[in-house]
């Protein structure tokens, strides 16, 4: 009898570090991915990502000093997740945040491995941390690469996030459901744009695909198209280790496809979220914030903003789901159970191996 060929998922090299599995847990703010979730993913051999934005929301003194408490918490969470997992930990920072630079400094100080840079252009890439920009088009990838190249730097990897993702989307509302903006097409676009930069850099720039990736087979298929790995959000939000309140997770697993909607966010981008009382109230205009508590976003047009995203996301994380903004990906209707990270990763890798055979 011939020996059965053993299939293993490919490992992934990024910035001199080796991931045992080609899976990245997407950063999820506010407080959805902190040390617990990121540590659990890192322990399984992927990259666990802490979302920096207002991450100290459940720490003492947050109400009085949200930024100061969050910066301190970020340092502690990074150290804790790294120590407990002995794995690779990233930090997600949105450039649209007023205090993006402060969060970045805190991430470098606490020795996070990678910075995942979303929602805006990073003009002055810092040293001392791996850099992974998140883009939604080949054009955006090219702009970043050109800008950084002039400073003698290339990213360690690039995440291309398609319109099926959860949270803020880097698309116009009318692009979200058009087939020419599919993840497959965007991936191809990014791979084409980065080729000449890879030659100049003398190394590969791995491209990670995100948005709507649900099964191990999905990971296999997107990697067949040239992605080096997958970034997944929604499925990790419905794990036992996800740092949000159980009521937030239950909203996700009880949702059906027709519960999903596209909202305008004060970040100046559309976002994908679950319909609820909160969004009904936003429609009727009775969520307009009187006071701005944290000046969290450069792009927020307070007092004309339809709602305070700072309060809405904190409410969601704490389980006050009727008064919160519940971000989710387009596949949320398929998630029916809250499971441990270990089980989810086992399922994803198992599915990948079956598809690869």
Ligand X SMILES: Cc1cc2nc3c(=O)[nH]c(=O)nc-3n(C[C@H](O)[C@H](O)[C@H](O)COP(=O)(O)O)c2cc1C
Report residue 317 CA to chain centroid gap. 15
Site membership for ligand X, residue 135 (CB under 6 A): no
Window contacting ligand X (CB under 6 A); options: 72-80, 226-234, 258-266, 297-305: 226-234
Site membership for ligand X, residue 260 (CB under 6 A): no
* CB nearer ligand X, residue 45 or residue 212: 212
Binding map of ligand X across residues 229-258, x = CB under 6 A, - = no contact: --xxxx--x---------------------
Q: Any residues with CB less than 8 A from the CB of 10 and at least 6 apart, and which?
A: 22, 223
- Asked if residue 57 lies in contact with residue 266, where contact means CB atoms within 8 angstroms, the answer is no
Site membership for ligand X, residue 57 (CB under 6 A): no
Kindly report the CA angle at 106 between 46 and 130, in degrees rounded to 5?
40
Window contacting ligand X (CB under 6 A); options: 26-34, 40-48, 181-189, 277-285: 26-34
- Is residue 149 helix, strand or coil? helix
- Please pick, from the candidates 66, 87, 167, 289, the single residue that binds ligand X as defined by CB under 6 A: 167
Site membership for ligand X, residue 212 (CB under 6 A): yes
* CB nearer ligand X, residue 9 or residue 212: 212
Site membership for ligand X, residue 183 (CB under 6 A): no
- Please pick, from the candidates 12, 14, 22, 26, the single residue that binds ligand X as defined by CB under 6 A: 26
Site membership for ligand X, residue 348 (CB under 6 A): no
Kindly report the CA angle at 322 between 54 and 233, in degrees rounded to 5?
50
| Rounded least distance, CB 212 to ligand X, Å | 5
Per DSSP bridges, beta strands 88-94 and 47-51 are: parallel
Binding map of ligand X across residues 315-344, x = CB under 6 A, - = no contact: ------------xxx-x-------------
| 207 φ, ψ (degrees, to nearest 5) | -110, 125
- Please pick, from the candidates 67, 78, 145, 165, the single residue that binds ligand X as defined by CB under 6 A: 165
Concatenate the DSSP letters of all residues of 186-247 into one string.
HHHHHHHHHHHHHHHHTS---EEEESS--SHHHHHHHHHTT-SEEEE-HHHHTBTT-SS-HH
- Please pick, from the candidates 9, 22, 27, 266, the single residue that binds ligand X as defined by CB under 6 A: 27
* CB nearer ligand X, residue 91 or residue 191: 91
- Asked if residue 18 lies in contact with residue 45, where contact means CB atoms within 8 angstroms, the answer is no
Site membership for ligand X, residue 133 (CB under 6 A): no
- Asked if residue 232 lies in contact with residue 213, where contact means CB atoms within 8 angstroms, the answer is yes
- Please pick, from the candidates 19, 32, 191, 260, the single residue that binds ligand X as defined by CB under 6 A: 32
Residue 231's nearest CA partner among 206, 215, 209 is 209
Q: Any residues with CB less than 8 A from the CB of 336 and at least 6 apart, and which?
A: 253
Q: How far is CA 97 from CA 38, 207, 296, in A?
A: 21, 25, 6
Site membership for ligand X, residue 158 (CB under 6 A): no
Q: Which residues bind ligand X (CB under 6 A)?
A: 26-29, 32, 51, 53, 92, 94, 118, 134, 161, 164-167, 210-213, 231-234, 237, 327-329, 331
């Amino acid at each position: 009898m011939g020996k059965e060929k053993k299939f293993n998922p490919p490992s992934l090299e990024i910035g001199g570090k080796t991931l045992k599995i080609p899976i990245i847990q997407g950063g999820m703010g506010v407080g959805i991915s902190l040390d617990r979730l990121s540590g659990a993913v890192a322990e399984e051999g992927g990259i666990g990502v802490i979302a920096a934005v207002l991450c100290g929301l459940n720490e003492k003194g947050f109400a009085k000093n949200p930024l100061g408490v969050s910066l301190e918490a970020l340092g502690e969470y990074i150290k804790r997740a790294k120590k407990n997992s002995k794995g690779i930990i990233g930090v997600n920072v949105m450039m649209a945040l007023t205090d993006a630079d402060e969060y970045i400094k805190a991430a470098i100080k606490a020795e996070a491995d990678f910075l995942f840079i979303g929602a805006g252009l990073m003009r002055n890439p810092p040293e001392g941390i791996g850099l992974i920009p998140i883009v939604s088009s080949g054009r955006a990838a090219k702009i970043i690469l050109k800008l950084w190249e002039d400073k003698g730097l290339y990213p360690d990897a690039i995440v291309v996030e398609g319109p099926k993702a959860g949270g803020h989307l880097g698309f116009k509302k009318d692009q979200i459901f058009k087939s020419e903006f599919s993840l497959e097409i965007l991936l191809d676009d990014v791979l084409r744009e980065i080729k000449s930069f890879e030659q100049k850099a003398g190394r590969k720039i791995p491209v990670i695909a995100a948005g709507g990736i649900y099964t191990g087979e999905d990971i296999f298929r997107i990697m067949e198209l040239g992605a080096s790995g997958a970034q997944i959000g929604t499925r990790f939000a419905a794990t036992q280790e996800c740092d949000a309140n159980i009521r937030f997770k239950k909203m996700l697993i009880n949702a059906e496809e027709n519960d999903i909607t596209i909202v305008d966010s004060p970040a100046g981008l559309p976002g994908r979220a679950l319909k609820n009382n909160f969004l009904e109230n936003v429609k009727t205009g009775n969520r307009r914030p009187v006071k701005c508590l944290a000046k969290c976003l450069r792009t927020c047009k307070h007092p004309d903003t339809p709602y305070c995203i700072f309060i809405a996301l904190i409410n969601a994380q704490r389980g006050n789901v009727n008064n919160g903004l519940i971000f989710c990906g387009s596949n949320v209707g398929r998630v029916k159970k809250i499971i441990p990270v270990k089980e989810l990763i086992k399922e994803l890798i198992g599915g990948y191996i079956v598809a690869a055979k």
